[in-house]
Protein backbone atom coordinates (compact mmCIF):
# COMPACT_ATOMS: atom_id res chain seq x y z
CA UNK A 1 0.00 0.00 0.00
CA UNK A 2 3.02 2.30 0.42
CA UNK A 3 2.90 3.33 -3.23
CA UNK A 4 -0.85 4.02 -3.33
CA UNK A 5 -2.02 7.54 -2.54
CA UNK A 6 -5.63 8.47 -1.79
CA UNK A 7 -7.85 11.50 -1.77
CA UNK A 8 -6.61 15.07 -1.62
CA UNK A 9 -2.95 14.08 -1.43
CA UNK A 10 -3.09 11.94 -4.60
CA UNK A 11 -2.42 14.63 -7.23
CA UNK A 12 0.26 16.50 -5.24
CA UNK A 13 1.98 13.13 -4.73
CA UNK A 14 1.79 12.48 -8.47
CA UNK A 15 3.37 15.87 -9.10
CA UNK A 16 6.12 15.16 -6.59
CA UNK A 17 6.78 11.72 -8.10
CA UNK A 18 7.11 13.01 -11.66
CA UNK A 19 9.35 15.88 -10.57
CA UNK A 20 11.64 13.83 -8.35
CA UNK A 21 12.22 11.04 -10.82
CA UNK A 22 13.09 13.48 -13.60
CA UNK A 23 11.87 11.21 -16.37
CA UNK A 24 13.25 11.86 -19.86
CA UNK A 25 9.69 12.14 -21.25
CA UNK A 26 6.13 11.76 -19.92
CA UNK A 27 3.21 10.27 -21.86
CA UNK A 28 -0.32 10.70 -20.57
CA UNK A 29 -2.56 7.99 -22.02
CA UNK A 30 -6.23 8.96 -22.10
CA UNK A 31 -9.44 8.21 -23.94
CA UNK A 32 -11.93 10.75 -25.28
CA UNK A 33 -13.84 10.75 -21.97
CA UNK A 34 -10.91 11.10 -19.60
CA UNK A 35 -9.27 13.65 -21.89
CA UNK A 36 -12.41 15.80 -21.73
CA UNK A 37 -13.48 15.26 -18.10
CA UNK A 38 -10.42 14.20 -16.10
CA UNK A 39 -7.36 15.65 -17.81
CA UNK A 40 -8.34 19.28 -16.97
CA UNK A 41 -8.49 18.35 -13.26
CA UNK A 42 -5.01 16.83 -13.17
CA UNK A 43 -3.17 18.84 -15.84
CA UNK A 44 -1.72 21.46 -13.52
CA UNK A 45 0.02 18.75 -11.51
CA UNK A 46 1.90 17.43 -14.55
CA UNK A 47 5.30 18.51 -15.88
CA UNK A 48 5.81 18.96 -19.64
CA UNK A 49 4.27 15.93 -21.31
CA UNK A 50 2.78 14.39 -24.43
CA UNK A 51 -0.83 13.21 -24.45
CA UNK A 52 -2.17 10.36 -26.58
CA UNK A 53 -5.91 9.84 -26.87
CA UNK A 54 -7.26 6.43 -27.79
CA UNK A 55 -10.87 5.37 -28.28
CA UNK A 56 -12.60 4.22 -25.10
CA UNK A 57 -14.15 0.82 -24.53
CA UNK A 58 -13.23 -2.82 -24.07
CA UNK A 59 -13.63 -3.41 -27.83
CA UNK A 60 -10.46 -1.35 -28.31
CA UNK A 61 -8.37 -3.23 -25.75
CA UNK A 62 -6.51 -4.94 -28.58
CA UNK A 63 -3.03 -5.41 -30.01
CA UNK A 64 -4.02 -2.96 -32.74
CA UNK A 65 -4.50 -0.15 -30.23
CA UNK A 66 -1.22 -1.16 -28.60
CA UNK A 67 0.48 -0.76 -31.97
CA UNK A 68 -0.80 2.83 -32.11
CA UNK A 69 0.67 3.47 -28.67
CA UNK A 70 4.01 1.81 -29.46
CA UNK A 71 4.21 3.71 -32.74
CA UNK A 72 3.66 6.99 -30.88
CA UNK A 73 6.37 6.16 -28.32
CA UNK A 74 8.75 5.16 -31.10
CA UNK A 75 8.15 8.26 -33.21
CA UNK A 76 8.51 10.58 -30.22
CA UNK A 77 11.76 8.73 -29.36
CA UNK A 78 10.75 7.75 -25.82
CA UNK A 79 13.71 5.99 -24.20
CA UNK A 80 13.95 3.56 -21.27
CA UNK A 81 13.92 6.42 -18.78
CA UNK A 82 10.49 7.71 -19.78
CA UNK A 83 7.14 7.14 -18.03
CA UNK A 84 3.55 6.41 -19.02
CA UNK A 85 0.73 7.90 -16.90
CA UNK A 86 -2.44 5.87 -17.40
CA UNK A 87 -5.33 8.32 -16.98
CA UNK A 88 -8.45 6.22 -17.26
CA UNK A 89 -10.39 3.17 -16.25
CA UNK A 90 -9.54 -0.50 -16.47
CA UNK A 91 -9.01 -0.54 -20.22
CA UNK A 92 -6.49 2.33 -20.17
CA UNK A 93 -4.73 0.87 -17.13
CA UNK A 94 -4.51 -2.71 -18.44
CA UNK A 95 -3.42 -1.68 -21.92
CA UNK A 96 -1.17 1.22 -20.94
CA UNK A 97 0.58 -1.00 -18.40
CA UNK A 98 0.97 -3.73 -21.01
CA UNK A 99 2.42 -1.31 -23.57
CA UNK A 100 4.84 0.22 -21.06
CA UNK A 101 5.95 -3.19 -19.77
CA UNK A 102 6.89 -4.35 -23.28
CA UNK A 103 8.26 -1.14 -24.84
CA UNK A 104 12.05 -1.49 -25.00
CA UNK A 105 11.65 -4.38 -22.52
CA UNK A 106 9.93 -2.17 -19.97
CA UNK A 107 9.54 1.49 -19.01
CA UNK A 108 7.96 2.93 -15.86
CA UNK A 109 4.19 3.39 -15.63
CA UNK A 110 1.81 4.76 -13.01
CA UNK A 111 -1.97 4.57 -12.76
CA UNK A 112 -4.34 7.46 -12.17
CA UNK A 113 -7.65 5.58 -12.14
CA UNK A 114 -10.70 7.58 -13.16
CA UNK A 115 -13.46 5.00 -12.69
CA UNK A 116 -14.61 3.35 -9.49
CA UNK A 117 -13.81 -0.01 -11.06
CA UNK A 118 -10.21 0.98 -11.73
CA UNK A 119 -9.82 2.62 -8.31
CA UNK A 120 -10.87 -0.44 -6.31
CA UNK A 121 -9.65 -3.17 -8.60
CA UNK A 122 -7.93 -2.82 -11.97
CA UNK A 123 -5.31 -0.22 -11.08
CA UNK A 124 -3.86 -2.31 -8.26
CA UNK A 125 -2.35 -5.77 -8.59
CA UNK A 126 -0.21 -5.68 -11.71
CA UNK A 127 -2.38 -7.58 -14.15
CA UNK A 128 -1.80 -5.95 -17.53
CA UNK A 129 -2.98 -7.17 -20.88
CA UNK A 130 -5.24 -7.04 -23.89
CA UNK A 131 -8.02 -9.14 -25.33
CA UNK A 132 -7.20 -11.40 -28.27
CA UNK A 133 -9.28 -13.38 -30.68
CA UNK A 134 -12.40 -12.57 -28.68
CA UNK A 135 -11.01 -13.74 -25.35
CA UNK A 136 -10.57 -11.39 -22.40
CA UNK A 137 -6.95 -10.70 -21.34
CA UNK A 138 -5.71 -13.61 -23.44
CA UNK A 139 -2.34 -11.80 -23.72
CA UNK A 140 -0.67 -10.08 -20.81
CA UNK A 141 1.92 -10.08 -18.08
CA UNK A 142 2.16 -9.34 -14.39
CA UNK A 143 3.81 -5.96 -13.94
CA UNK A 144 3.12 -3.68 -10.99
CA UNK A 145 2.65 0.04 -11.60
CA UNK A 146 5.35 2.01 -9.77
CA UNK A 147 2.62 4.03 -8.03
CA UNK A 148 -1.15 4.50 -8.02
CA UNK A 149 -2.83 7.87 -7.37
CA UNK A 150 -6.51 7.62 -6.45
CA UNK A 151 -8.67 10.73 -6.10
CA UNK A 152 -12.44 10.11 -5.89
CA UNK A 153 -13.00 13.54 -7.46
CA UNK A 154 -13.18 11.71 -10.78
CA UNK A 155 -16.25 9.76 -9.65
CA UNK A 156 -18.32 12.87 -10.36
CA UNK A 157 -17.48 12.42 -14.05
CA UNK A 158 -19.04 8.95 -14.17
CA UNK A 159 -22.47 7.79 -15.26
CA UNK A 160 -24.56 5.76 -12.83
CA UNK A 161 -23.91 2.69 -14.95
CA UNK A 162 -20.15 3.09 -14.59
CA UNK A 163 -20.41 3.69 -10.86
CA UNK A 164 -22.38 0.48 -10.45
CA UNK A 165 -19.82 -1.38 -12.53
CA UNK A 166 -17.12 -0.54 -10.00
CA UNK A 167 -19.43 -1.22 -7.09
CA UNK A 168 -19.73 -4.84 -8.30
CA UNK A 169 -16.03 -5.38 -7.60
CA UNK A 170 -16.43 -3.82 -4.15
CA UNK A 171 -19.24 -6.25 -3.39
CA UNK A 172 -16.94 -9.04 -4.58
CA UNK A 173 -14.23 -7.86 -2.17
CA UNK A 174 -16.70 -7.98 0.72
CA UNK A 175 -17.98 -11.40 -0.35
CA UNK A 176 -14.51 -12.95 -0.38
CA UNK A 177 -12.88 -11.11 2.54
CA UNK A 178 -15.13 -8.98 4.73
CA UNK A 179 -18.47 -10.37 5.89
CA UNK A 180 -18.96 -7.44 8.29
CA UNK A 181 -18.60 -4.84 5.51
CA UNK A 182 -20.99 -6.87 3.35
CA UNK A 183 -23.54 -6.77 6.14
CA UNK A 184 -23.17 -3.00 6.68
CA UNK A 185 -23.10 -2.07 3.03
CA UNK A 186 -26.07 -4.14 1.99
CA UNK A 187 -28.12 -1.86 4.23
CA UNK A 188 -26.29 1.34 3.17
CA UNK A 189 -26.39 0.59 -0.54
CA UNK A 190 -24.70 2.40 -3.36
CA UNK A 191 -26.20 5.84 -2.81
CA UNK A 192 -25.08 6.13 0.81
CA UNK A 193 -21.56 4.90 0.05
CA UNK A 194 -18.75 6.96 1.59
CA UNK A 195 -16.08 6.71 -1.11
CA UNK A 196 -13.31 8.38 0.88
CA UNK A 197 -13.60 5.55 3.36
CA UNK A 198 -14.72 2.60 1.22
CA UNK A 199 -12.16 2.91 -1.58
CA UNK A 200 -9.04 2.65 0.61
CA UNK A 201 -10.70 -0.29 2.44
CA UNK A 202 -11.37 -2.11 -0.83
CA UNK A 203 -7.84 -1.46 -2.10
CA UNK A 204 -6.47 -2.77 1.21
CA UNK A 205 -8.31 -6.06 0.75
CA UNK A 206 -6.97 -6.47 -2.76
CA UNK A 207 -3.40 -5.39 -1.90
CA UNK A 208 -3.20 -7.79 0.99
CA UNK A 209 -4.21 -10.72 -1.22
CA UNK A 210 -1.96 -9.69 -4.12
CA UNK A 211 1.08 -9.22 -1.90
CA UNK A 212 0.61 -12.67 -0.41
CA UNK A 213 0.55 -14.26 -3.88
CA UNK A 214 1.54 -11.83 -6.66
CA UNK A 215 1.66 -14.40 -9.50
CA UNK A 216 -1.64 -16.09 -8.63
CA UNK A 217 -0.31 -19.50 -7.73
CA UNK A 218 -2.87 -19.92 -4.98
CA UNK A 219 -4.62 -17.47 -2.67
CA UNK A 220 -4.86 -14.68 -5.27
CA UNK A 221 -7.26 -16.84 -7.24
CA UNK A 222 -10.03 -15.86 -4.79
CA UNK A 223 -10.09 -12.45 -6.49
CA UNK A 224 -11.58 -14.27 -9.47
CA UNK A 225 -14.81 -14.95 -7.62
CA UNK A 226 -17.62 -14.07 -10.04
CA UNK A 227 -15.15 -13.88 -12.93
CA UNK A 228 -15.41 -17.37 -14.37
CA UNK A 229 -19.02 -16.93 -15.45
CA UNK A 230 -18.64 -13.12 -15.50
CA UNK A 231 -15.80 -13.07 -18.04
CA UNK A 232 -17.59 -15.54 -20.27
CA UNK A 233 -20.73 -13.37 -20.25
CA UNK A 234 -18.64 -10.25 -20.88
CA UNK A 235 -16.82 -11.87 -23.82
CA UNK A 236 -20.09 -13.14 -25.30
CA UNK A 237 -21.90 -9.80 -25.13
CA UNK A 238 -18.81 -8.02 -26.50
CA UNK A 239 -19.67 -9.75 -29.74
CA UNK A 240 -23.36 -8.76 -29.62
CA UNK A 241 -23.41 -5.20 -30.95
CA UNK A 242 -25.54 -2.94 -28.78
CA UNK A 243 -25.72 -5.41 -25.92
CA UNK A 244 -22.15 -5.00 -24.55
CA UNK A 245 -21.89 -5.14 -20.76
CA UNK A 246 -19.57 -3.07 -18.63
CA UNK A 247 -17.08 -5.27 -16.80
CA UNK A 248 -18.81 -4.92 -13.43
CA UNK A 249 -22.23 -5.57 -14.94
CA UNK A 250 -20.93 -8.92 -16.22
CA UNK A 251 -19.26 -9.60 -12.87
CA UNK A 252 -22.58 -8.98 -11.10
CA UNK A 253 -24.05 -11.79 -13.22
CA UNK A 254 -21.03 -13.94 -12.35
CA UNK A 255 -21.29 -13.22 -8.62
CA UNK A 256 -24.86 -14.42 -8.58
CA UNK A 257 -24.27 -17.50 -10.72
CA UNK A 258 -21.20 -18.53 -8.72
CA UNK A 259 -22.99 -17.92 -5.40
CA UNK A 260 -25.73 -20.21 -6.74
CA UNK A 261 -23.09 -22.81 -7.71
CA UNK A 262 -21.68 -22.52 -4.17
CA UNK A 263 -25.09 -23.23 -2.74
CA UNK A 264 -25.75 -26.11 -5.14
CA UNK A 265 -22.44 -27.73 -4.14
CA UNK A 266 -23.57 -27.70 -0.49
CA UNK A 267 -21.12 -24.96 0.55
CA UNK A 268 -23.04 -21.69 0.88
CA UNK A 269 -26.22 -21.68 2.94
CA UNK A 270 -29.51 -20.90 1.26
CA UNK A 271 -30.06 -17.90 3.52
CA UNK A 272 -26.70 -16.37 2.59
CA UNK A 273 -27.46 -16.92 -1.10
CA UNK A 274 -30.72 -15.01 -0.53
CA UNK A 275 -28.86 -12.08 1.03
CA UNK A 276 -26.47 -11.91 -1.93
CA UNK A 277 -29.39 -12.17 -4.35
CA UNK A 278 -31.29 -9.35 -2.66
CA UNK A 279 -28.29 -7.01 -2.41
CA UNK A 280 -27.27 -7.51 -6.06
CA UNK A 281 -30.85 -7.17 -7.28
CA UNK A 282 -31.15 -3.87 -5.40
CA UNK A 283 -28.17 -2.41 -7.30
CA UNK A 284 -28.07 -4.01 -10.74
CA UNK A 285 -30.63 -4.24 -13.47
CA UNK A 286 -31.07 -7.80 -14.56
CA UNK A 287 -29.31 -8.77 -17.78
CA UNK A 288 -31.88 -10.43 -20.03
CA UNK A 289 -30.66 -13.85 -21.13
CA UNK A 290 -32.34 -15.82 -23.91
CA UNK A 291 -31.67 -19.57 -24.29
CA UNK A 292 -29.47 -18.61 -27.28
CA UNK A 293 -27.47 -16.27 -25.06
CA UNK A 294 -26.87 -19.04 -22.52
CA UNK A 295 -25.77 -21.41 -25.29
CA UNK A 296 -23.49 -18.65 -26.60
CA UNK A 297 -21.87 -17.90 -23.25
CA UNK A 298 -20.88 -21.49 -22.42
CA UNK A 299 -18.12 -21.97 -25.06
CA UNK A 300 -16.23 -19.01 -23.57
CA UNK A 301 -15.83 -20.96 -20.34
CA UNK A 302 -13.51 -23.36 -22.19
CA UNK A 303 -10.87 -20.65 -22.63
CA UNK A 304 -10.85 -19.48 -19.03
CA UNK A 305 -7.26 -19.01 -17.87
CA UNK A 306 -7.97 -20.85 -14.62
CA UNK A 307 -8.88 -24.07 -16.46
CA UNK A 308 -6.64 -27.09 -15.99
CA UNK A 309 -6.79 -29.85 -18.62
CA UNK A 310 -10.23 -28.88 -19.75
CA UNK A 311 -11.65 -28.69 -16.22
CA UNK A 312 -13.32 -25.38 -15.41
CA UNK A 313 -11.96 -24.17 -12.09
CA UNK A 314 -14.09 -21.76 -10.17
CA UNK A 315 -13.91 -19.86 -6.90
CA UNK A 316 -16.85 -20.72 -4.65
CA UNK A 317 -18.02 -19.45 -1.27
CA UNK A 318 -18.22 -21.58 1.84
CA UNK A 319 -19.91 -18.62 3.44
CA UNK A 320 -19.87 -14.86 2.97
CA UNK A 321 -16.25 -13.82 3.54
CA UNK A 322 -14.88 -17.35 3.09
CA UNK A 323 -13.94 -18.28 -0.48
CA UNK A 324 -12.41 -21.56 -1.69
CA UNK A 325 -10.52 -21.74 -5.01
CA UNK A 326 -9.80 -24.43 -7.60
CA UNK A 327 -13.31 -25.84 -7.37
CA UNK A 328 -14.13 -27.83 -10.50
CA UNK A 329 -17.50 -27.13 -12.08
CA UNK A 330 -19.01 -28.64 -15.20
CA UNK A 331 -20.50 -26.83 -18.17
CA UNK A 332 -23.86 -28.37 -17.23
CA UNK A 333 -23.63 -26.87 -13.75
CA UNK A 334 -22.74 -23.44 -15.16
CA UNK A 335 -25.64 -23.72 -17.58
CA UNK A 336 -27.95 -24.48 -14.67
CA UNK A 337 -26.65 -21.41 -12.80
CA UNK A 338 -27.37 -19.19 -15.81
CA UNK A 339 -30.91 -20.58 -15.96
CA UNK A 340 -31.24 -19.81 -12.24
CA UNK A 341 -30.11 -16.23 -13.00
CA UNK A 342 -32.69 -16.01 -15.77
CA UNK A 343 -35.45 -16.92 -13.34
CA UNK A 344 -34.59 -14.74 -10.33
Can you give the binding site for a second copy, defined by CB under 8 A?
Answer: 24, 63, 67, 70-71, 74, 77, 79-81, 101-106, 127, 129, 132-133, 135, 137-142, 302-303, 305, 307-310
| C-alpha to C-alpha distance for 181 and 175, rounded to whole angstroms | 9
| C-alpha to C-alpha distance for 31 and 8, rounded to whole angstroms | 24
- Nearest distance in Å: CB 340, a second copy: 27
Q: Is 167 helix (H, G, I), strand (E, B) or coil?
A: helix
- Is residue 324 packed enough to be buried (19+ CB in 10 Å), middle (13-18) or exposed (0-12)? middle
CA angle 172, 318, 325 (to 5 degrees): 70
CB nearer to a second copy: give 24 or 239. Answer: 24
Indicate left, alpha or beta for 245 from its phi (over 0: left) and psi (-120 to 50: alpha). Answer: beta
| C-alpha to C-alpha distance for 319 and 309, rounded to whole angstroms | 28
User: DSSP per residue over 54-87, as a string?
Assistant: E--SGGG-SHHHHHHHHHHHHHTT--TT-EEEEE
CB nearer to a second copy: give 162 or 327. Answer: 327
- Nearest distance in Å: CB 140, a second copy: 5
Q: Is 22 helix (H, G, I), strand (E, B) or coil?
A: coil
Say if CB 222 and CB 208 are below 8 A apart. no
CA distances from 3 to 53, 125, 144, 145, 198 (A): 26, 12, 10, 9, 18
Say if CB 18 and CB 48 are below 8 A apart. no
- Nearest distance in Å: CB 53, a second copy: 20
CA dihedral of residues 343, 193, 322, 233 (deg, nearest 10): 40
- Nearest distance in Å: CB 11, a second copy: 26
Tell me which residue of 301, 225, 288 sits closest to 258, measured CA to CA: 225
Active site residues: 105, 127, 169, 206, 216, 220, 224, 227, 231, 247
- Nearest distance in Å: CB 24, a second copy: 5
CA distances from 106 to 79, 122, 179 (A): 10, 20, 39
| C-alpha to C-alpha distance for 65 and 44, rounded to whole angstroms | 27
Amino acid sequence: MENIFFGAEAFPKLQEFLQNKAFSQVLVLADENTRRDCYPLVKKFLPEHQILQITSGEANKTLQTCETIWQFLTEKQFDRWSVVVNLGGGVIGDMGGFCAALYKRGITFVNVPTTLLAMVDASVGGKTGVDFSGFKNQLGIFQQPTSVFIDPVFLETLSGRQLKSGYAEMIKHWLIADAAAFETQRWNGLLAADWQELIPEAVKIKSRIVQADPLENGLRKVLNFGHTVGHAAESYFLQQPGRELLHGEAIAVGLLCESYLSEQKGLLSNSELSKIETFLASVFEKVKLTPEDIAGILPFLQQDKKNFRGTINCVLLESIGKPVYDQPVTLAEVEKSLRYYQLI
